[in-house]
Structure 1
Amino acid sequence: MNAADLGLPVAVPSTALFTDRYELTMLQAALRAGTADRRSVFEVFTRRLPEGRRYGVVGGTGRVLDAVENFRFDAGVLRFLADQRIVDEPTLAWLADFRFRGDIWGYPEGEVYFPGSPILRVEGSFAEAVLLETVILSILNHDSAVAAAASRMSAAAGDRPLIEMGARRTHELAAVAASRAAYVGGFTSTSDLAAGFRYNIPTVGTSAHAFTLLHDSEKDAFTAQVASLGSGTTLLVDTYDVAEAVRMAVDIAGPELGAVRIDSGDLLLLAYRVRQQLDALGAFDTKIVVTSDLDEYAIASLGAAPVDAYGVGTQLVTGSGHPTCSMVYKLVARADSGEPDAPLRPVAKKSMGGKTSIGGRKWAARRLDADGVAEAEVVGTGPVPEELADRQLLVELVRGGRAVAREPLDAARDRHRAARAGLPMSATQLSRGEAVLPTEYV
């Protein structure tokens, strides 16, 4: 249950200033030149995956829908633009009535993508579409980076649950978005209450080392926690001596102790020793949770250890070394006039240095082999081949300015699980490699 479910007021701030100044200066110049109304198509894509990654994960689509819906220039925003002399009076008057009235298509959240995949396609007048560049890219680049890291970690963890606990390692608002993206990528819960409140993600958490240090003895701390939270709680056992703490934990909570958490030391060795000790004490069902700067490689190294769950913070919310996906937002087609029925023509940047792009309004489909496993990402601008008609990836997200594809977060999470399962087995290898699917242009 979230704020809306409880009938509480939910603040919906304008997202209009989540943009770069040059979006508005381009708008002003285009309005003056008479080109602002030209029908235009912008696409979001990345030219390459982060080094060594084999697939990307679309994260943040639901947040993009919210941002587009709330991209309005209210009185305070307009006053700021006027006071700072960022745009002229005719442009301010145009912005006062602005709301996006175009269409958006894109890969649904949780889907995987590859270099050149048209992850999002924004269609409308140049004026309204160009304003959305920065806010769309900031959401997709951040959330997709976290979702991809989460996906790699969940693949390494297998069936063992993952806890997102990175709120203290990033900006407070980014932490909420990261928790959401991690859930899409396969995490099962979060320690961040704001994320739980806003997105209905299950929340977990019991105590930190400070709680143990607060008390006169570890025994007093454990006794207090069990008395308050019950024997099913998770006790942190590495403040002093792990073996003694485990013995004391079972003595106080009994064999029905929910779990113990290890947050430091040689996690592989400690997990084996703690499991042996718990079993010897009759606590066969007590789980072992490990934390301590984990990433996908550390999780994989613990695959054979008797670990029941992982808590991940810093490496998750920073994209495990790749905090952005380098997505770009490029104009790929536009009309020659502002007439509603003016035909579109492809346009593309042709500069040197690897920053070229392919013009034209694109579709994308994923071709499967005889066994039903994905074998190529096919991107085109002409008619869709008949054999790929039912394999198209882009779905309608916004029609005439109204979101038409809102869905529960669990739907995106389930979609990602299915999309990843449909890739070649090498997709989840942690060794460095190229994109697991080639991108073919037709």
Structure 2
Amino acid sequence: MNTADLGLPVDVPSTALFTDHYELTMLQAALKAGTAERRSVFEVFTRRLPEGRRYGVVAGTGRVLDAVENFRFDPGVLGFLRERSVVNAETLDWLAGYRFSGDVWGYQEGEVYFPGSPIMRVEGTFAECVLLETVILSILNHDSAIAAAASRMSSAAGERPLIEMGARRTHELAAVAASRAAYVGGFTSTSDLAAGFRYGIPTVGTSAHAFTLLHDRERDAFQAQVDSLGRNTTLLVDTYDVTEAVRTAVEIAGPELGAVRIDSGDLLLVAHRVRQQLDELGATDTRIIVTSDLDEYAIASLAAAPVDAYGVGTQLVTGSGHPTCSMVYKLVARAESADPTDPLVPVAKKSTGGKTSIGGRKWAARRLDEHGVAEAEVVGTGPVPQELQERQLLVPLIRDGQVLARESLDVVRERHVTARANLPLSAIQLSRGEAVLPTEYV
């Protein structure tokens, strides 16, 4: 496969080292003990949502599928493990032939989730499943956090488009994944060309303050940009005096000027003044784009402002204060021997301190009320009640080690819009509160 699809440099041939040291030492010990081949079930879930969040968003599933498919211990990786004495020779021999041959079930990407939702289930031998823990959690925790922030911002923005522009505020590879997750959560475009190249996300961008400062006069900068990019370009008008800049922009581009961007000041006040000035100058179709450390609360506060689009960077790529979803990957069932016909036995962590888990291979379904609005997340280990059969949330993603299907991001985006619309209206309130749906265990 093309490693560029993973958001990786092209010289990284494998995802096998995107893991923690102890995954391999557990493998070595299990191989020696004869328990490595026991059939096992691991589940990904979170015990709670980040403070104040009403729902979570599943994102990164497509990247997980690529990562599992590319989880290979090639000679370079094996050489590194041998040199560092991470595992013994017998374990290295086992790793050389590693190919995940199990099954993966999960919530579809773009779906919403709640505390206890088994958003991904990984089934196979203990040995092959335990190795995938870190890479799966790394992707899902990051991408779902960004998508949740993006979803809240999208709700606050209403029909106004959102531009992702946070590449310079995070790691260069995380920026690509963040852009993808933001698109899932409702953003319409990105400034990051790598994200556009790898995932087909629309890219946008015109100029920064540096371009204006490069020229002797602001007028010269605007003229150069219009001459190069056309009258439909977006001119940045807050380098010096906004009122003068807007006047100059319309003089140069005419009423056909595409947009002006405001990146500082009291955005609510400035946007009203700029809109009035543009209309008076005859540029009634010129749009106003605002940036400047926006988050969902700032976006909501601009709902009554004459703003046509928002550009969001830092707050988006940091999850708007919650850069992880605290998802965990726990063994919930295993066989008592390596015999593949042995029944699965539920297992669970029982320690104190709020880190307990519920054993058993789980299903999940969403119960609706008489109006078709979701009213509960139902999770169980026994038979699925007849009335919930058609509302099950887990679907097969990988069977016998083979990825079943990959979805376009546009399909995923639409799924999220539908899933969010089926939640109670309080789900999109920005005021702090608990999960909008209770999780019921049956």
| Per-residue deviation, residues 385-430 of structure 1 (Å, max 9, x unmatched) | 0000000000100011111131101111110000000000000000
Q: 2:278 is matched with which residue?
A: 278
How does 1:5-404 map onto structure 2 within 5 Å?
13-404=13-404
Label 1:12 to 1:414 Cα distance change in 2 as closer, same or farther (>3 A): farther
Alpha-carbon distance, 1:340 to partner: 1.1
With 406-415 and 156-165 compared, the bigger mean Cα shift is at 406-415
2: CA distance, partners of 1:269 / 1:333: 58
Label 1:172 to 1:4 Cα distance change in 2 as closer, same or farther (>3 A): closer
Kept in 2, the 8 Å contact 1:3–1:197? The answer is: no
2: CA distance, partners of 1:4 / 1:111: 25
Residue identity matched to 1:72:
R
Partner of 1:122, secondary structure, is strand
Kept in 1, the 8 Å contact 2:102–2:122? The answer is: yes
Label 1:103 to 1:326 Cα distance change in 2 as closer, same or farther (>3 A): same
Residue identity matched to 1:372:
G
Paired positions, count = 438
2: CA distance, partners of 1:3 / 1:196: 15
2: CA distance, partners of 1:321 / 1:263: 21
| Per-residue deviation, residues 72-126 of structure 1 (Å, max 9, x unmatched) | 0000000000010000000000000001000000001000000000010000000
Alpha-carbon distance, 1:356 to partner: 0.3
Alpha-carbon distance, 1:13 to partner: 2.3
1: CA distance, partners of 2:428 / 2:112: 12
Partner of 2:123, secondary structure, is strand
Label 1:194 to 1:278 Cα distance change in 2 as closer, same or farther (>3 A): same
2: CA distance, partners of 1:10 / 1:141: 24
Ranges in structure 1 where 5+ consecutive residues have no aligned partner = none
Kept in 1, the 8 Å contact 2:54–2:434? The answer is: yes
Alpha-carbon distance, 1:306 to partner: 0.2
2: CA distance, partners of 1:421 / 1:361: 29
Kept in 1, the 8 Å contact 2:3–2:12? The answer is: no
Kept in 1, the 8 Å contact 2:145–2:323? The answer is: yes
Residue identity matched to 2:15:
T
Give the fraction of aligned pairs with identical amino acids, expressed as a percent.
Answer: 84
Following TM superposition, the consecutive aligned residue runs of length 4 or more in structure 1 with deviations greater than 3 angstroms are: 2-5, 9-12
Residue identity matched to 2:290:
V
With the length of structure 1 as denominator, give the TM-score of the two structures.
0.98
Residue identity matched to 2:308:
D
| Per-residue deviation, residues 263-319 of structure 1 (Å, max 9, x unmatched) | 000000000000000000000100000000000000000000000000000000000
Kept in 2, the 8 Å contact 1:42–1:122? The answer is: yes
Kept in 1, the 8 Å contact 2:55–2:427? The answer is: yes
Q: 2:427 is matched with which residue?
A: 427
Kept in 1, the 8 Å contact 2:3–2:13? The answer is: no
Residue identity matched to 1:208:
A
Label 1:60 to 1:32 Cα distance change in 2 as closer, same or farther (>3 A): same
Partner of 1:254, secondary structure, is helix
1: CA distance, partners of 2:176 / 2:13: 16
Ranges in structure 2 where 5+ consecutive residues have no aligned partner = none
Partner of 2:378, secondary structure, is strand
Alpha-carbon distance, 1:12 to partner: 6.2
